[in-house]
Amino acid sequence: MATWLEDQWKSGDPIIDAEHQKLHQMIRSMAAVVRNDPGLGLAIEAVDVLAERMRIHFRMEETLASRAHSDAVATLKQDHQRLLRLLAPVRDALQGGDQDGAKTLMEDFHAQLDQHDREVDIPLFRR
């Protein structure tokens, strides 16, 4: 998850790198809410907020990519949609009271996002 803090993994584009650092900070605090929700429904709200934040992030990347890398936009969008779909089962698990399942699914979302960062975002936006 520390991808965007390591020099070797920075894209070199200051806007992209700063946005990802902010995004990952937010993901870390939302994951903590999911882990520690005492059953007040906070975790479900956190997943919803996170999904909205991810949509904004993805839209920003897709707009930037459509200017400079229009050939890569379709693939980028497809992978963003796939990542967003991973959050629905987290929400379902929480709603069903399966805290452990939600935790595992959230960790899987993290791992998949990390892979996306390394394999899609960074090569695409690297300067």
Distances (CA, A) of 46 to 13, 71, 122: 29, 34, 27
Q: Based on the shown chain and the rule CB under 5 A, indicate whether residue 50 belongs to the binding site for Fe ion.
A: no
Q: Based on the shown chain and the rule CB under 5 A, indicate whether residue 121 belongs to the binding site for Fe ion.
A: yes
| Cβ–Cβ under 8 Å, residues 50 and 27 | yes
Q: Based on the shown chain and the rule CB under 5 A, indicate whether residue 24 belongs to the binding site for Fe ion.
A: no
Q: Based on the shown chain and the rule CB under 5 A, indicate whether residue 125 belongs to the binding site for Fe ion.
A: no
CB of 19 to Fe ion, least distance (A): 7
**Cβ-proximal residue to Fe ion, closest one:** 121
| Cβ–Cβ under 8 Å, residues 11 and 122 | yes
Nearer to Fe ion, 54 or 106 (CB): 54
Q: Distance from CA of residue 44 to its chain's centroid? A: 16
Segment interacting with Fe ion, rule: CB under 5 A, options 7-15, 41-49, 90-98, 117-125? 117-125
Residues near Fe ion (CB under 5 A) are 61, 121
